[in-house]
Amino acid sequence: MTPSHKKSTSDIGMDGSLMEALVRSRRFFTKGTVSDDLRTISQVGGREADDFYRDRWSHDKVVRSTHGVNCTGSCSWKVYVKDGIITWETQQTDYPSVGPDSPEYEPRGCPRGAAFSWYTYSPTRVRYPYVRGVLLQMFREARSQHDGDPVKAWEHIVENPLRAKAYKSARGKGGLVRATWEEVSEIVAAAHVHTIKKYGPDRVAGFSPIPAMSMVSHASGARFVNLIGGSMLSFYDWYADLPVASPQVFGDQTDVPESGDWWNAGYLIMWGSNLPVTRTPDAHWMTEARYRGQKVIAVAPDYADNVKFADEWLAAKPGTDAALAMAMGHVVLKEFFVDRQTPYFTEYVKTYTDLPHLVRLEEAADGEYTAGKFLTAADLPDHIGDENAAFKTVLIDSVTGKPVIPNGSLGHRYGEAGVGSWNLELGDVDPVLSLLDTATESVVVRMPRFDTPDGAAADLPRGIPVRRVDGHLVTTVYDLLLAQYGVGRSHEGQALPGVWPTGDNRGYDDAQSPYTPAWQEAITGVPAATAARIGREFAQNAEESKGRSMIVMGAGTNHWFHSDTIYRAFLTLTNLTGCQGVNGGGWAHYVGQEKVRPITGYTQIANALDWNRPPRNMIQTAYWYLHTNQFRYDQFGADTLSATTGKGQLAGKSTADVIAQSARMGWMPSYPTFDRNPLDLSDDAAAAGKPIGEYVAEQLKSGELDFAGEDPDAPSNYPRILSIWRANLLGSSGKGNEYFLKHLLGTDSSVRATETPEGQRPVDVKWRDEAPEGKLDLLMTIDFRQTSTTIFSDVVLPAATWYEKHDLNTTDMHPFVHSFNPAIAPPWQTRTDWDAWQTIAEKFSELAATHLGVRKDVVAVPLTHDTPDAMANPHGVVRDWKKGECEPIPGVTMPKLVEVERDYGAVAEKMNALGPLVDTLGATTKGVTFELSKQVDYLRAKNGAVRGGVADGRPSLKKDVNVCEAILAMSGTTNGHLATQGFKTLEKRTGVRLADLAEEHEGKQITFADTQGPPVPVITSPEWSGSETGGRRYSPFTINVERKKPWHTLTGRMHFYLDHDWMTELGEGLPVYRPPLNMAALFAEPALGTVSDGSAGQVEGLTVRYLTPHNKWSIHSEYQDNLFMLSLSRGGQNIWMSDRDAAKVGIKDNDWIEAVNRNGVVVARAIVSHRMPEGTVYMYHAQDRLIDVPLAETSGKRGGIHNSLTRLLVKPSHLIGGYAQLTFAFNYLGPTGNQRDEVTIIRKRSQDVTY
């Protein structure tokens, strides 16, 4: 230290003598003390102002709750309350530790969740019940005219065309007025009673999606709808979130790893899933895993937020992902199976996939063949009489060279003989993967292809080694797969016949031959060498790490028309490389918040299975395809999609015909079912003195009775009532929004399409010259905020928010059950969903007791997955009784028919108590039946018993907390007794050890009080396929792999090959690349890239692909109207486009533009960004129509929403049912409401907008 610095502090002067003099003078003006060095002044008191900032962050209590918004977050939050007002929320930080070698769950939460409390007191809050004024006035008048009978009053209005039109045409045009709960519930109840009486209970529909986001709230209305016999509409398929490849390949509804398992992956591909944006609270696992050496790849068409985290970015063109995956699969097969055998992979595919199973080849023209059906025991003379022989597949043992019927196939799952043998144990058998070494000959098989830009079908010949088994010419799935992927081999020194990739670099550079890396480059734009290298690295990592390569996939790749082919191309990568059923590996498909962990208990309550079975569960895509009349605007037949190798089974059929066929064959559900009130149908059968099944089959055959779906425009077949809660159908999920407005609601719309010309119209489904408008009599919505749906509703009821009720919430992304808890009581006149539906149920019961009484209802039930129904159609052969191909036999060739007694006056009593069927019949989930009598006793004690009425002595469900307890007590994941019991049941059938998975928690039961404390992980249970035993991270199918428990498929293994008739017809027996639909060819939209000047009657502008990905500033439509999110984003509706596209039509950033296609018109602002690829625009999903939506120039109507440009397109193969894993279950299988193949014209509009 130099001497010059050795001054004491007091020696250091002020900035100058003037300054010093000024400060020194302070002591003359103050009571405080100025220090000698003039640096400080000390005052006595004067801290009153502190109270301001201390009060700002003070609070009276903290309540644990979460958000039920279908974001998959399921984050636990602290909600702060001060002076009875919810003030703000912060993330909970008390998750259990993941263990010493992993990051923790925290932080969990995102800006959207942190902004939620704004809604409690927001201007968009629905505070009171509302009814459209014109309807309310008519109702009051009609009620007094009919001596105060509300049912007659409702009839008076809706059965009079003029009166009905008066209020229906006013929908969406304001005029909602306040009413009381008393009056509103009376209107709603009267509408239900009238509809059930006149048209039938299946004309009533309920829509509330994603039970996992708030199970009690979902169950509230669902329970009511199911008690009266209404139809609950599916959501997973409807949202296009359901990857149809999951039932096809796994025979399971989506089961995926929790986000904590990403940490275990060594190689992670984010493929069409933008983790930081759409999985915000989980994304940290991915960023952390990178520090562990994980390689991260992003496949996205745009420079998305997740791309910056990736080591490499593959910018595949939108919708071409399957081409990239097929090429990667080509490399994996070539380098890890053919050029070199990889023991880990080979063992894995022999045990856990259908690759060694035998497939018969069918002779086509010119001595060439096509792939046919699986060889089964029924095809072998020695086994033809075996139990379920047609459902036992065959493979060849390499030791003996003889065909063997292995354990574990569907035929072993049911029947006496199969007890103890439904497992994947191969014993001494070593399955032969390829027949190449033992083949007697090789034949040429025609492999379908669709890789021309317009997706037209073609095929190419490829040779396959074959042999004969009991006279059948067979090969293995593996040999077919190699042929499909174009991986050539030699047989006895000679190359197999047919067309194969040739040339340098193992043929990878052959751009003409599918599915080489060079071939994909022309389609996806990803360099061939990169595609090959990534595929190689993926497999290399899987080989070295024993399966720890993972593909995170999502809406970006799943919302396409041909998403099932895209996903099967992905799953080929994970399943070939032994990644499935391994922690840190396999598919990780994330879309909606699908996983209801306490599934068994929830299902009993929501489907009202404790009182009557079965429920009416409807596939929503087909429902709206028919009832919003979108089928009237199709310009092509179902056979447009057929392969050249098909047999023409779809020829001449429209999509509506295919839906009708699927329904009448019992494949898919169909509600309303018949063109007669199902209550009357039961009476008619009784009058005829015949059992219902026999009577209905006869009536159908004679044509006296028809399916409602074959004449959806008959007034008696309309859906009449739709109740929506926890959902925003018209602002978020309603593909073909303008068709909804026009035909379902009967109000203003911007539909611009022309109807299907004669010649292409449906054949089996009746075409009425006049398309109906305003089919729906009552649209009721329960919500806590105004949405695009509430403003079109006739009745809007005010709901409690997530900070105002008790409920349960779970997710795929973590293993905890979170509770909702009220921070405040529901304010204004809001009520919890449970309360609201109780109110409606009570009023309904009161009116129904006199108007309806006790009736019998005929429920038509489709063939159902995880039951012996899956064996209704051997070999997946189509048999249509209507075409005389077989007899109509309920439960085999047509839907089952079940009579259900409905005591309409007792609906409210039943709703409020747990019914007796859970004791007598138990509860079945995925084929495992749980015995629940102890749990019912427990609930009787916990919730109290009901006294008097039909539910005398039953456990009460009066309060939402009671329902929470019931759900938790009756599910294996939350009740160790049941998990263990279920595994023991399953042990009997499989003959493998399972119960130990749950035994560590046998005595553990998670009660509602437990969920109110720090997060509690669930228990390993047969309800799901993964294991959390010992605190490991959840990964699906680990039980299947580690315990040799079969998948719920035909072979009991994961399927590469699907032999159903219609799969063959579409050329999708094996993974294949199908490009996005060509809208120019199908609907005469302008070709992509066309710039029109507006001449020749066209709309001027640029034609681009129109995608609706998910938003950074909202979760669906939630939060996009939230002041905080509006401030962070640009606010209002906008469309992202590339700077190059914008320049073509003179659009500048923030300009007002219009997007126009045949389905409708959208007005939005342009966001011009170089992050966007040329030729594609994004309109982020569900921006709703409540903020800044001006009138459109093109239509003169108010500019629409993102779904104004979309419409429903149904893929016939999604309608397959009644065959092995391709059998219906609710939200397990059904046609997807896809929307990504759409195109639109973008035009610059006048910058002066009017509202």
Partner 1 sequence: MNEFLFVILPYLCLTTFVVGHLWRYRYDKFGWTTRSSQLYENRLLRIGSPLFHFGMLGVVGGHIIGLLVPQSWTDWAGVSEHAYHVVAVTGGLLAGVMAVVGMAILMYRRRTVGPVFSATTRMDKVMYAFLAVVIVLGMWNTIAGSIMTIGGEYNYREGVSVWYRSFLAFHPDASLMADAPLGFQLHALVAFGLFALWPFTRLVHVFSAPVGYLTRPYIVYRSRDDAQLGSHRPRRGWDRVG
Stretch that binds partner 1, among 41-49, 173-181, 195-203, 823-831 (CB under 8 A): 41-49
- Pick 39 or 1170: Cβ nearer partner 1: 39
d(CA 372, CA 258): 38
Least distance from C-beta 1243 to partner 1, angstroms? 29
Q: How far is the CB of 29 from partner 1 (least distance, A)?
A: 7
Contact string 54-93 vs partner 1 (x = CB under 8 A)? x---x-----------------------------------
**Residue 49 or 1096 having the CB closest to partner 1:** 49
Contact region with partner 1 (CB under 8 A), list: 35-43, 214-222, 520-528, 680-688: 35-43
Is the CB of 35 or the CB of 512 nearer to partner 1? 35
DSSP state of 1202: G
Contacting residue, 11, 48, 101, 504, with partner 1 by CB under 8 A: 48
Burial level of 50, CB count in 10 A (0-12/13-18/19+)? exposed
| Cα–Cα distance for residue pair 634/1212, rounded to 1 Å | 14
Min dist. Cβ of residue 1150 to partner 1 (A): 15
Q: 27 vs 988, which CB is nearer to partner 1?
A: 27
Contact, 899 vs 951, CB < 8 A? Answer: no
> Residue 373's closest CA among 386, 354, 387?
354
Please identify, using beta-carbon distances, which residue of 19 and 877 lies nearer to partner 1: 19
CB 150 within 8 A of CB 189: yes
List beta partners, residue 1134.
1165
Determine, following the binding rule CB under 8 A, whether residue 40 of this chain makes contact with partner 1: yes
Under rule CB under 8 A, residue 114 binds partner 1? no
- How far is Cα 1031 from Cα 98, in angstroms, rounded to an integer? 8
Closest to 450 measured CA to CA, from 738, 652, 642: 642
Under 8 Å between Cβ of 751 and 1197: no
CB 23, min distance to partner 1, A: 6
Q: How far is the CB of 923 from partner 1 (least distance, A)?
A: 53
CB of 1123 to partner 1, least distance (A): 18
- Decide the pairing of beta strands 1176-1178 and 1101-1107: parallel
CB of 1189 to partner 1, least distance (A): 24
Interface residue with partner 1 among 7, 10, 13, 43 (CB under 8 A) is 43
For partner 1, the closer of residues 40 and 754 by Cβ is: 40
- Residue 84 or 1196: which CB sits closer to partner 1? 84
47 or 402: whose CB is closer to partner 1? 47
Give the pair of three-digit tokens for residue 608.
């009202």
- Name the token pair of 552: 């995170």
Among 2, 4, 12, 46, binds partner 1 (CB under 8 A): 46
| 242 contact partners, CB below 8 Å, separation of at least 6 | 236, 253, 254, 1227, 1228, 1229, 1230, 1232
Residue 564, SS3 per DSSP: helix
Q: Which of 7, 13, 35, 401 binds partner 1 (CB under 8 A)?
A: 35
Q: Which one, 27 or 292, has the nearer CB to partner 1?
A: 27
Shortest distance in whole angstroms from residue 39 CB to partner 1: 6
**Dihedral angle of Cα 143, 148, 152, 153, to the nearest 10 degrees:** 10
Among 38, 389, 511, 917, the residue binding partner 1 under the rule CB under 8 A is: 38
- Least Å distance, CB 920 to partner 1, is 58
Quick one: which of 688, 708, 683, 712 has its CA closest to 698? 688
CA 209, 213, 217: angle at the middle one, nearest 5? 75
Q: Looking at beta carbons only, is 33 or 850 nearer to partner 1?
A: 33
Compute the distance between CA of residue 835 and CA of residue 224 in angstroms, rounded to an integer. Answer: 12
Least gap, CB of 120 to partner 1 (angstroms): 24
Sequence-separated (6 or more) residues with CB below 8 Å from residue 440: 466, 467, 468
What minimum distance in Å lies between the beta carbon of 53 and partner 1?
Answer: 11
Task: Candidates 44-52, 241-249, 319-327, 546-554: pick the segment binding partner 1 (CB under 8 A).
Answer: 44-52
Comparison of 39 and 883: residue with beta carbon closer to partner 1: 39
- Which run of H or E residues covers position 660? helix 655-664
Measured from the CB atom, the residue of 49 and 365 that comes closer to partner 1 is 49
Q: Shortest approach of partner 1 to residue 16 CB, angstroms?
A: 13
Per-residue contact track with partner 1, 1216 to 1245, x per CB under 8 A? ------------------------------
- List beta partners, residue 913: 956
* x-or-dash string of contact with partner 1, 455-494, rule CB under 8 A: ----------------------------------------
CB of 58 vs partner 1, minimal distance in Å: 8
Q: How many CB atoms lie within 10 A of CB 619?
A: 31
919: tokens are 């004791």
Give the residue with the Cβ less far from partner 1, 25 or 144. Answer: 25
Nearer to partner 1, 44 or 1096 (CB): 44
Q: How far is the CB of 1245 from partner 1 (least distance, A)?
A: 25
Under DSSP, is residue 783 helix (H, G, I), strand (E, B) or coil?
strand
Which residue's CB is nearer to partner 1, number 55 or number 683? 55
Region near partner 1 per CB under 8 A, out of 52-60, 464-472, 655-663, 1205-1213: 52-60
Q: Is 45 in the site for partner 1 (CB under 8 A)?
A: yes
The answer to whether 1055 touches 1073, Cβ cutoff 8 Å, is no
Both structure tokens of 743: 């035909």
User: CB-wise, 36 or 504, nearer to partner 1?
Assistant: 36
Instruction: Find the binding residues for partner 1 in span 625-654 (CB under 8 A).
Output: none
Distance of CA 1065 to the CA centre of its chain: 26
Interface pick for partner 1 out of 51, 94, 544, 887 (rule CB under 8 A): 51
| Closer Cβ to partner 1, 43 or 850, answer by number | 43
Smallest gap, in angstroms, from Cβ of residue 1168 to partner 1? 21
Tokens encoding 928: 């495992």
**What's phi and psi for 403, nearest 5 deg?**
-65, 140
Nearest-approach distance from CB 21 to partner 1, in angstroms:
9
Select from 4, 42, 97, 702 the one that contacts partner 1 (CB under 8 A). 42
Long-range Cβ contacts of 1121-1130 (<8 Å, 24+ apart): 1121/124, 1121/785, 1121/1184, 1121/1186, 1121/1187, 1122/112, 1122/115, 1122/116, 1122/118, 1122/119, 1122/122, 1123/118, 1123/122, 1124/111, 1124/115, 1124/118, 1125/111, 1125/112, 1125/115, 1126/1187, 1128/111, 1130/1165, 1130/1167
The contact mask relative to partner 1 for 15-34 (x = CB under 8 A, - = no) is -------xx-xx--x----x
Q: What is the DSSP code string of 869-893?
A: GGGSSGGG----GGGTSS---BTTT
Q: How near is the Cβ of 10 to partner 1 at its closest, in Å?
A: 13
How many residues form the binding site for partner 1 (CB under 8 A)? 23
Question: Is there binding between residue 47 and partner 1 (CB under 8 A)?
Answer: yes
Q: What is the sign of the dihedral through the CA atoms of 245, 247, 250 and 253? A: positive
Q: Does 10 participate in binding partner 1 (rule CB under 8 A)?
A: no
Minimum distance from residue 1149 beta carbon to partner 1 (Å): 17
Can you give the binding site for partner 1, defined by CB under 8 A?
22-23, 25-26, 29, 34-35, 38-48, 50-52, 54, 58
